[in-house]
Amino acid sequence: MINYSDEYTKKVKYEIEGKNYKYKINTFGCELNINDSEKIAGMLEEMGFSKTDNDEEANIILFNTCCVRENAEEKLFGKLGEIKRIHEEKGTLVAIGGCMMQEPSMIEKLKSSYKYVDIIFGTHTIHNLPENIYKVLAERKKVKDVINIDGEIVEGIPVKREDKYKASVTIMYGCNKFCTYCIVPYVRGRERSRNPEIILKEIEELSKEGYKEITLLGQSVNSYVGNNKIKNFADLLDSVAKIPGIEIIRFESPYPSDFKDDVIDVMAKNKNISRVIHMPLQAGNSKVLKEMNRKYSKEDFLELVKKVNEKIPDAVFTTDLIVGFPGETDEEFEDTLDIVRKVDFEQIYMYIYSKREGTIAANREDQVPDDVKHKRFNKLKDLYDKRIDEINNRYLGTIQEILIEGKSKNNENMLTGRTDSNKVVVFKPIEKVEIGDLVKVKILSNHKWYLEGEIVQ
Ligand code: SF4
């Protein structure tokens, strides 16, 4: 572990003093990337930059990239094309970081076709951003700062969180699982867990600042390894649950076969741990799971769901599913539909398999044709769509405890928040109730993608 140094933060601050410099960050990808962007924003603000949402106004435009899905690449290159003019006219600095920059082919592409990019940084070198900005500002250098070895855990990076009541805290970096379709272990490195005492101190501070909901993050969050006192994920979860003021604790994403009895027991005894468990299944067929290098079978997954339901009767499951993994037959896909019928998933994030260069599955010759993949995807979507109404209707008449997140985006006169199971609920404001309060809301109607209710005293 190393401590963040603010040596270059001060130098940049001096360099841009009085110039009213602004930054804009474009974030692609998962919660971990969003959390990294909060650190990037934190460092920039310490350097003296302020935030803008307008490219034209920005003095530095940053991209925090993702390489898990193909369309993230298209989005990045589309956006880079758009800002070339701004860079040329105004001298705006352009910096690109994140997972995609850990792929050598991407760096080559940037160097040959997007020569105007000033800073390229990887997933292990985010903390060097002040130094890299200084090199560009003061020394007029282009910077490439990417390392392929697992980076150190850097503590003490300033964080600028968008939300005032909900905060994400990364507890581990990297992944050791090597699922055959996934690029993450190659771009984020091996698992490294943060010191538990430092994590708990950070959450205690967040609680003092008024944060009520904490999400613990990791690529395989329950593979967390602690120390002699707080040994594993179950111990850490139990300790977080005891921090005064933290009313809701979530975690994502757990790996099914690492979801051990101790975690289930800790959840069962601590009511402030969310009952929503995002358990990425990926496929319903055991042979496909084996070929994905997932360490559980269909039967193991069903057994785990049964065990959780026995100890936590109000548990709610959500999941990720991939359709059209190489070699998947129609019969094997039927197992995915079968498990969706058997497990009451409240939400399913569905993906059509797409090749990620550098992974084992991408080199397989038995790729499923696109039309077949789409047909299977639509079948799964139809099945799930039919179930949404059924699931939502179960909420009618129930009273849900909701953290008020703000005004509804579609109706300024309404407030919005989420049920513990992550369903969006809108409701009319009442006197003496403010954003950030926890309120009881009676659910009155179902609008498929959201529920409507009223605050009850
Ligand atoms: S567990 Fe599998 S899918 Fe998740 S990040 Fe690790 S390799 Fe990728």
185 C-alpha vs ligand 1 centroid, how far in Å? Answer: 7
Is 417 part of a structural domain of the chain? yes
| Residue 117: Cβ-neighbour burial (10 angstroms; 0-12, 13-18, 19+) | buried
Q: Is residue 178 part of a domain?
A: no
Residue 69 has pLDDT above 80, yes or no: no
User: What's the rounded mean pLDDT across residues 291-307?
Assistant: 98
Q: Are 414 and 455 in contact (CB under 8 A)?
A: no
Q: How much is the pTM? A: 0.90
pLDDT at 72 > cutoff 80: no
Strand 406-407 versus strand 399-403 pairing type: unpaired
In the predicted model, what is the mean pLDDT of the chain?
93
Q: Please report whether residue 420 resides in a domain.
A: yes
Q: What is the pLDDT of residue 379?
A: 97
Last residue of a domain, one of 145, 166, 197: 145
Which of 115, 145, 175 finishes a domain?
Answer: 145
Q: Tell whether 412 is covered by a domain.
A: yes
Residue 435 sits in which domain range?
A: 399-456
CA dihedral 457, 431, 450, 248 (to 10 degrees): -60
Q: For residue 218, is it within any domain?
A: no
**Number of CB atoms found within 10 A of residue 368's CB:** 20
Counting from 1 in the atom list of ligand 1, the atom nearest the Cα of 178 is: 7
Question: Considering its fold, how many domains does the chain have in total?
Answer: 2
**Parallel/antiparallel/unpaired status of strands 415-418 and 406-407:** antiparallel
Q: Where are the alpha helices (DSSP H) in 343-443?
A: 370-393
Does residue 331 have a pLDDT over 90? yes
Q: Which CATH number do you get for residue 82?
A: 3.40.50.12160
Which tens digits make up the pLDDT trace of 237-249?
A: 999 999 999 999 9
Q: Is 441 helix (H, G, I), strand (E, B) or coil?
A: strand
Dihedrals phi, psi of 46, to nearest 5 degrees: -65, -30
Q: How far is the CA of 225 from the centre of ligand 1 (A)?
A: 17
Residue 254 in this model has a pLDDT that exceeds 90: yes
CA nearest ligand 1 atom 4, residue: 219
Predicted pLDDT of residue 70: 66
Residue 169 lies in a domain: no
CA nearest 221: which of 29, 2, 31? 31
- Residue 432: give its domain's CATH number: 2.40.50.140
DSSP state letter for 232: B
The binding-site residues of ligand 1, defined as CB within 6 angstroms of any ligand atom, are 175, 177-179, 182, 184-185, 219-220, 255
Q: Is residue 111 part of a domain?
A: yes
Decide: 27 and 64 in contact? Cβ < 8 Å: yes
Tell me which of 145, 168, 188 is where a domain ends.
Answer: 145
Distance CA 267, CA 249 (A): 10
Q: What is the pLDDT of residues 195-239, one digit of tens each?
A: 999 999 999 999 999 999 999 999 999 999 999 999 999 999 999
Whether 193 shows a pLDDT value over 80: the answer reads: yes
Answer whether residue 352 is part of any domain.
no
The b-or-e profile of 289-325 (16+ CB within 10 A means b, else e) is: bebbebebebeebbebbeebeeebeebbbbbbbbbbb
pLDDT band at residue 426 under the 50/70/90 scheme? very high
